[in-house]
Structure 1
Amino acid sequence: MPSVQFPGEGPHPDNHGKCEPTAPTYGQGRFFQTGRTLGSVVARVCREEEAPVGLAYAPPAEPPLVTAHKVGARVEIAAVNPAAQALGLAPGTALTLARAQVPDLEVRAADPDGDAADLRALAERLARRWAPIVAVSDADGLLIDLTGVAHLHGGEAGFARRLLRLLARHGIGGRVAVADSAGAAWALARHGGQAVQIVAPGTHIAAIAPLPVSALRLEPAALELLARLGVDSVGQLLDMPRAPLVRRFGAAIVTRLDQATGRAPEPLDPVVPPTRIAVEQRFAEPLLTAEPIEHWLRELMARLAQELARAGQGARAVELVAARVDNRPQCLRLGFSRPTRDPAHMLRLALRRIEEIDPGCGIDALALHVRRADPLGAETLAPSLAGEAAADLAPLIDALVNRIGTGRLWRVQPVESDVPERALTLLAPLDPPAGRGVPLRADDIRQLDARAPDHPWHPRWPRPARLLRRPEPVEHVIAELPDQPPRRFTWRGLSHRVVRADGPERIAGEWWRRSAERLAVRDYYRVEDEAGDRFWLYRRGDGVRAETGDLAWFLHGR
C-alpha cells in the first residue's frame, strides 16, 4: 500500500484542460498515502523492483515561510516550508517564539478548509487517471489502492516515479511508500525518512518495527503514556503481550497494531469523482437530413434540461456529438455566458449551427455532453410585479459568441498600472468586475475619506481607443531631443508628416515588478498627420541619459 507525503498549499493540480495550474504548495507535513491492499486481502500484482533513487524533490531556494492559525488564545504555526524547518521551526510552535527566533519570517494565514478542498480535488483527479480507489486518510493524507493497476504505470517503481514527477511539476515535494497494508504505508511515508520506499511482500512488519510509536496513528494521550513507560518503537509494542496492552490502553492500540501488520482489515472510503451530465439517443436507421436531426435535438435538449435541474446545475459549455456510421464523429461546442438550463435557448443556438453537421453516410447516434457546469438554483418564471424586468443580454451574447467565437467578444476592465499594456484586462461580457481591495473595518480612520476613489484611467491622460497587441517599431523618425514630438515617421512602409502633436507624457518602469525596469522611461506623444489620422507614439529613453533607453520609437495605439 503506497503512501505519499508532500508539502505545499494553493490551487489544486490538473484542472482537466484548463491552464491554470492546480496544485498547492503546502507547508511541512502534508501527506497523501496510497494502498496496495483492501481490507485483509494482501495481493501483489507486479514483480519486485528496486525503489527508484534520487526522486526527492529539491525545492528552489526560498525564504522561511510558515502558516499560522489560532488555537484558543494562542497563535501557533500550522505548517512550515523546508527553509523554516531548517531553522528549527515546527508545527505547534508559538508564532511569537518563531518571530523572535527568525526575525525575517514570512507568515501567512492557514486555510484548513481550502486545504481539505484541494486535497479532495487531488484525490478525485487521481481516481480518474491513476487508480480507481483513492481515499482521503486524514487532514493531510491520501490512500491509493494499487491492486491491479500498478502494472499500468510500469510497476510500483514506475508509479512512484510518475507520481513524484507530477507533484514536482507543481512545486510539491513528495514521499511515496508502498507496503502490504495501509497502516504500514502510512507509517513509512511519514517516518521512513526516504523519498520513495517500496517494501518487499511480507516484509512490512520488519520495515515498521524500528519506527516510532507515533507511526501507528495513536491518540496523544496514549503516546504520552507510552513515552513515560519507555516504549519508543513499534517493535517494542509488537513484542509485548496483548492482554496487558488492552487493559492499560484499550482496544485501540491493538487495532492499530493489527492494521499496520495486516492482521486486521482497514477498509477504505474512496472518493467518487463527479460524473459529467450527458444524454444520448441511438437510432435503428441512420439519420441523413436536417429535419430528423432537429427533431431529436429537441428531444435531447429537453432531457438535458431535466438532468441539469435534477443536479442543480446550469450548463456553461455543451458539446453535441453526432456519431456517424463511418466512425467519424461530428462535434459542435456551444458556450453560454452564464449558467443555463433553458432548453429553448440551448436548442436555438444549436439549430443555428446545424448546417455544420455533415451526416455523410448517416448518423446512428446523437449525444449531448455537458463539458462545464456551474451551480444554478431555482429560476424565476415571471418578471417582478413591481416593474418591468431588466433587459437580459445573455441570449444576445450567447448568439454572438457561438457565431464569431469566444476570443472576439469581451469587455475591458481597468487595472491600476501606469504601463499602458498592463492597465487593462479582458473579461467575459457578463463576468462581474473584480473586487477592489479589502473592505475597511468600521473603526478604520480611512472611513473618514468620503472622496470617490480615483479611476485607474485618469481623464487628464486620455488613451487611444485601440492599443496594438504589441508596440510596432517606426522608422525614419525626425524629432528634436530631448522632448520634442516627432515631425515625420514611417510606419508599415508609409511616411507620415506630423501637423499637430501633444506631449510628452513620461511613464517610468514598474521597478517592483522587474529589475530591468528600474531605470526604464517612455515618452508618449499624441500626433496627427496631414490626412487627419492620429497615432500614439512613444520613445524609449528620456533623450538625456543613455541608461533610460535606446531612443527607439514605437507606435502603440491609434
Structure 2
Amino acid sequence: MRNRRILSLWFPRLGAERLLRQMRTLPPEAFAIVGEQAGRQTLTSLSVGAESRGLYRGQPLAEARAICPELVTRPQNLQAERAFLAALRRWAGRFSPWIGEEPPDSLIVDLTGAAHLFGGEDGVLQTVETDCARLGLTVRAAIADTVGAAWALARHADMPAPTGRNGDSIDQEARATRSRAARRHWLKGGAPPLPAARAITSSRIAAPGQTRQALAPLPLAALRLPPNIVDGLARLGLRHVGDLLGMARAPLARRFGPALIRRLDQALGLEPEPISPARQPLHFAVRLTFPDPIGLPEDITAGLDRLLPALCRRLQDQGHGARRLRLQLFRTDRSVQELTFGLARPSADPMLMRSVLNVRIASIAPGFGIDVMRLEAAETEPYQPRQHRGPLAGTDGPAPAAQAEAMSLLISRLGARIGMEAITRLAPADSHIPEKSALILPAAWSEPADHWPHPHAPRPAVLFRPEPVQAADIPGVPRQFRWRRQDLVTASATGPERIAPEWWLDDPEWRSGTRDYWRVETTSGIRLWLFFAHGADIAGGWFCHGVFA
C-alpha cells in the first residue's frame, strides 16, 4: 500500500515502570526486574536510575549487584506484563483501531489516514509523549511506511553511530571492562542507556517514500536480525543497513540464509508485513441499578426477569451460549455477594437459566438492601439452537433432542445445589478387564454413550476390589467357603469365564495371573462373582469380585 503509515511504540522500561507506578512509597533510585534466562538470573527491565549506574538488560544479577549494591529488584511476572501491554493497546486505540501487539514491550499501530486528527505526524508523536509522561512510562515512537522501518527508527534513531573494529574498539574489551564503563554493545542489538528526557525529534519520522534514506545510517540490528547474522556481517565489514542496499541478494542469501533478505525486504516494503490486531475478547454482562434498595425474593426474581432476556439476546447475536453464570449483588453497605451457576451445556435460553437461578435464590442474603444486580456469562462456548421436535419425531415419547435438553436441565439444577463436578456418568472403555470397562466422566462435560458393548457373560451390579475367600485351593468351584465372616454353601454355579491380565501393563491387582470367573448362587440367596487366580508373581486362590442383584 503506497500511502500506508505505521506507528511503532516501544516501551523499553515497561516491566520496571509497571511496578514503579504501583509503589505508594518513594521509589528506589535503582530498580530492576529479574527474570531467568539460560538457567541464570538476569535483568529484564531497568529504571532510569539503574541504567544511569551502568546496568543494562540481560546483565547477570550477581554482576549488577557488584556494580550497584543498592539495587532493588523484583521477580518478573510475564502474565502481569502481558496484561499491562494489553491495557496499553486499549489506550493506543485513540490513534487507530488497527493495533497489533509485539510482546513483550511494543505496539504497532496502522496510522494510515488518522494522523491529521492530531495535527499531523509530529502531533501524534507529541501526544504519545505527553500521555506516556502522564502515565509514568518511557516511550520511543517512530512513524514510517513499513512495520520494519518504524520498528528500526523507534529503537535505533538518535543513537550514536557505531565505530569501526580496531584495537581500541569498545566492543573488543572484556565484559567486565564494558560493564564498569557503563557501555553496551550496540552492534549486537543493544542500545545505549536511554536518556531520561523524552524529547521528540524529526529523525524518528521517515517521510513517505523516504524509507531507504531513513534506514541507511542505522545499524544492522535495526533489521530485526539474529545476533549471529549481525556478527557475521560485521566480520565482513558491513555495519549499516545502507551497506546492504546496493549488494547482490543471491550471495547474501547463500551465506546468511533467507532470513536476512526477508527482513530487508520487509523493512523496505518489498515484502508485505500485515499487522495482526489482537481480537477483543467477547464479554457478556448486564446490570440493573435500583432507585431504592430491594431485599424481597420476589423483587430479586423480578430483577432477574429483566436481566436474563438482555443477556441472552447478546449471546444469541454472537452465536454463543453460557456455560457458567455469575450473579453479583451489590449491597448498600458496599459488600458484594457473588453466586456462580454452571450449565450442563451451552445455552442462550432465558427460561433454562431462570430455572437454574431459582435454585439458589433462597440463599441470597440481601442485608440492608441490594442496590445493583449484575449478571455475567463468565464462560461461553459457540452455540447453535437445537430443534426439539421435528416432523419425523415419534408420538410415543419425547424426541431425542428434547430428552437431551431435559437431562441437561436436570444436571444444571443438581449442579447448582451440590456442584457440577459431583455429577458423573459412565462411559465405555476399551478394555476387557472388568474394573476398567467403564470410565467415570463429569456429566456436564461429556455426552452419553450411544452404544455399550455387551460382555461375553453377565456382570455383577456391584463391583468392588477383590476380597479373599477361604476355600479349598483348587480350580473347581468349592461346595463350601467363607466370605466376610459368613459360612456359605454353593447351590449352583455357572462358568468359568477366563480373563487374562493385560500383559503390556504392570497392574499390581493382576499380578496373581489369569483368572477363572464363576457366577455362584448360595443356599442363602446371595449371588456372588467369584474367581480363581492361577498365580503368577504372587500366589493365587479364590476371591470375590462383585455381587449380583
Instruction: Work out the CA distance in 2 between the residues paired with 1:415 and 1:530.
Output: 35
Q: Would the aligned equivalents of 1:38 and 1:267 in 2 still touch at CA under 8 Å?
A: no
2:355 aligns with one of 348, 351, 362:
348
| CA drift at 1:350 | 1.6
Q: How does 1:22-421 map onto structure 2 within 5 Å?
A: 39-43=9-13, 46=16, 47-48=31-32, 52=36, 55=39, 130-133=82-85, 143-146=102-105, 203=184, 205-208=186-189, 233-236=232-235, 239-240=238-239, 242-248=241-247, 256=263, 271-272=278-279, 274-325=281-332, 329-377=336-384, 383-385=389-391, 390=399, 392-405=402-415, 406=420, 409-421=423-435
Name the amino acid aligned to 2:278: V
**Any conservation in 2 of the 1:131–1:146 contact (CA below 8 Å)?**
no
Gaps of 5+ in 2: 1-6, 17-30, 41-76, 90-100, 107-153, 157-177, 191-219, 250-258, 268-272
- Asked if structure 2 preserves the Cα contact closer than 8 Å seen for 1:242 and 1:254, the reply is no
> Alpha-carbon deviation of 1:305?
0.4
The residue number in structure 1 matching 2:471 is 478
- 1:513 paired to 2:505: yes
CA distance in 2, matches of 1:328, 1:527: 64
Q: CA deviation at 1:49?
A: 6.9
Query: In the alignment, which residue of structure 2 is the partner of 1:553?
Result: 543
Quote the Cα distance in structure 2 between the aligned partners of 1:282 and 1:237. Answer: 71
Is contact 1:409–1:429 with CA below 8 Å preserved after alignment? Answer: yes
**Which residue does the alignment assign to 1:74?**
none
Tell whether the 8 Å contact from 1:487 to 1:497 is kept in structure 2 after alignment.
Answer: yes
Whole-angstrom CA distance in 2 between matches of 1:215 and 1:465? 72
Counterparts of 2:187 and 2:479, CA distance in 1: 82
Match of 1:463 in 2: 459
- Give, in angstroms, the shift of residue 342 of structure 1: 1.1
Give the Å deviation of 1:208.
4.5
* Aligned CA distance change for structure 1 residues 44 and 362 (closer, same or farther; 3 Å): closer
Aligned-residue Cα RMSD (Å) equals 4.9
Paired letter, 1:532: G
Matched AA of 1:457: H
Greater Rg by CA: 2
Between the aligned partners of 1:297 and 1:50, the Cα distance in structure 2 is: 48
CA distance in 1: counterparts of 2:453 and 2:544, whole angstroms: 24
Tell me the CA shift for residue 48 of structure 1: 5.0
Q: Post-superposition shift, 1:508? A: 1.9
CA distance in structure 2 between the partners assigned to 1:281 and 1:204 by the alignment:
59
2:517 aligns with one of 511, 524, 546 = 524
**How many angstroms does 1:348 deviate by?**
2.1
In structure 2, relative to structure 1, the CA distance for the partners of 1:464 and 1:215 (3 Å cut) is farther
In the superposition, the TM-score normalised over structure 1's length comes to: 0.51
- TM-score of the pair, normalised by structure 2: 0.52
Residues 267/355 of structure 1: CA separation in 2 closer, same or farther (3 Å cut): same
Change in Cα spacing, 1:256 to 1:422, as seen in structure 2 (3 Å) is: same
Deviation at 1:143, TM superposition (A): 4.8
Q: Secondary structure at the match of 1:477?
A: coil
Q: Which has the higher helix share?
A: 2
Letter in 2 for 1:43: R
CA contact (8 A) 1:305 1:343 kept: yes
**Cα distance, 1:464 vs. partner?**
1.7
Give the distance between the partners of 2:355 and 2:325, measured in 1 at CA.
Answer: 13
The answer as to whether partners of 1:133 and 1:270 remain within 8 angstroms in 2 is: no
- Contact 2:513 2:540 (8 Å CA) reproduced: no
Give aligned pairs, total. 356
Matched, 1:535 2:528: yes
Would you say the 8 A contact 1:345–1:395 is kept in 2? no
What residue number does 1:89 align with?
A: none
- Do the aligned partners of residues 515 and 495 (structure 1) sit closer, same or farther apart at CA in structure 2, a change above 3 Å counting? closer
Equivalent residue of 2:384, what SS? coil
Deviation per CA, 1:351-399: give whole Å up to 9, x if none.
243223232333333222223322123555x854566682502443234
Structure 1 counterpart SS, 2:312: helix
Q: SS at 1:397's partner residue?
A: helix
Cα separation, 2, equivalents of 1:465 and 1:237: 81
For 2:317 and 2:84, locate their aligned partners in 1 and report how far apart those are by CA, in whole Å.
Answer: 26
Equivalent position SS for 1:393: helix
Q: 1:527 to 1:433 in 2, by over 3 A?
A: same
Q: Could you say what secondary structure the match of 1:233 adopts?
A: helix
- Cα displacement string for residues 442-499 of structure 1 (whole angstroms, at most 9, x for unaligned residues): xxxxxxxxxxxxx7432x311123334xx1635x6234423424733333x6665543
Percent of residue pairs bearing the same amino acid type: 28
- The Cα shift of 1:308 comes to 0.5
The answer to whether the 8 A contact 1:131-1:145 is kept is no
Deviation of 1:313 (Å): 0.3
Query: Is this contact kept in 1: 2:81–2:104, CA < 8 A?
Result: no
Structure 2: distance between partners of 1:526 and 1:370: 52
TM-superposed deviation, 1:292: 0.4
1:228-256 Cα shifts (integer Å, max 9, x gaps) = xxx97143478445445223369x96995
1:423 to 437, 442, 457: 437
Unaligned regions of 5+ residues in structure 1, if any?
1-36, 57-124, 136-141, 148-179, 183-198, 220-225, 261-265, 437-454
Instruction: For 1:244 and 1:407, locate their aligned partners in 2 and report how far apart those are by CA, in whole Å.
Output: 65
Would you say the 8 A contact 1:417–1:456 is kept in 2? no
Bigger shift: residues 290-299 or 425-434 = 425-434
Structure 2 CA distance for aligned equivalents of residues 527 and 330 of structure 1: 57
What SS does the aligned partner of 2:357 have?
A: helix
